[in-house]
């Protein structure tokens, strides 16, 4: 049994979860939580970062949806074994930018792959490990896409090039996941001003810790 806490950050592209994650680390440290580790998927360790490059390469337009899913799952496994599990065993609070729910929302709702298959593959990759808490940053596809368009520094990846339709489906997938996992997933309205979103994220995490 792990001693730490696994907290995941989820949401459609443009929800701002990565910005919020960066902002809350110093705030959590100030509140007395010292042993925090942050990481992201896909990536976080060398093998998984290599897989990430393949997945997100804008030239890989020939990639099949199941291939895409399997690559995310492979990156998840490696990242978990090499980085997340040791940190949890050391008692750390591990904050992860994207985890199992991204596969269900993007490859399930977005790409139309069978959700039962994805859940099974997630369980296979994680040996059934579930986050202690998931913050779901909710924005409409319109708001998310408008934010991405505004952020000129953001690197464009292959999934950003998907049609608007996919962004709608991803959000619907997240809303359904949130409804089905009320004990784990807390929904945060990420269309609100950033300071309010950060405050709600911190409050939710502190309640859990």
Name the token pair of 77: 């496994």
Asked whether position 78 contacts ligand TYD by CB under 6 A, the answer is no
149 to 178: interface string for ligand TYD, x by CB under 6 A = --------x-x-------------------
Three-class SS state of 24: helix
From CA 92, how far away is CA 139, in angstroms rounded?
A: 30
Determine what percent of the chain falls in helix, strand and coil, rounding each to the nearest 5.
55, 15, 30
Q: In this structure, is the dihedral angle defined by the CA atoms of residues 54, 59, 62 and 66, taken in order, positive or negative?
A: positive
Whether residue 64 is annotated as binding a ligand: the answer is no
For ligand TYD, the closer of residues 129 and 209 by Cβ is 129
Q: How far apart are the C-alpha atoms of 145 and 105, rounded to whole Å?
A: 16
User: Which one of 72, 136, 137, 174 is in contact with ligand TYD (CB under 6 A)?
Assistant: 72
Smaller CB distance to ligand TYD: residue 18 or 172?
18
Give me the least distance between CB of 118 and ligand TYD, in Å please.
9
Q: What is the footprint of ligand TYD within residues 187-206 (CB under 6 A)? A: none
Residue of minimal Cβ distance to ligand TYD: 106
Residue whose structure tokens are 């609100």? 192
Which residues are at the interface with ligand TYD (CB under 6 A)?
13, 18, 41-42, 72, 97-98, 102-103, 106-107, 157, 159
């Amino acid at each position: 049994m792990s001693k730490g806490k696994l907290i995941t950050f989820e949401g459609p592209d443009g929800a701002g979860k990565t910005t919020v994650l960066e902002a809350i680390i110093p705030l959590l440290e100030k509140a007395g939580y010292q042993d925090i580790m942050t990481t992201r998927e896909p990536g976080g360790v060398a093998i998984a970062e290599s897989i990430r490059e393949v997945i997100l390469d804008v030239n890989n337009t020939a990639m099949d949806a199941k291939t895409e899913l399997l690559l995310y799952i492979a990156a998840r496994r490696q990242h978990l074994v090499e980085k997340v599990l040791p940190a949890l065993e050391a008692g750390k609070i591990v904050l992860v930018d994207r985890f199992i729910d991204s596969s269900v929302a993007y490859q399930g709702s977005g790409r139309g792959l069978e959700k039962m298959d994805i859940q099974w593959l997630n369980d296979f990759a994680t040996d059934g490990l579930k986050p202690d808490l998931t913050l779901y940053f909710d924005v409409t596809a319109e708001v998310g896409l408008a934010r991405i368009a505004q952020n000129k520094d953001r690197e464009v990846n292959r999934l950003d090039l998907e049609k608007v339709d996919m962004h709608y489906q991803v959000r619907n997938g997240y809303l359904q996941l949130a409804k089905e996992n009320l004990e784990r997933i807390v929904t945060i309205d990420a269309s609100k001003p950033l300071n309010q979103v950060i405050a709600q994220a911190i409050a939710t995490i502190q309640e859990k810790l």
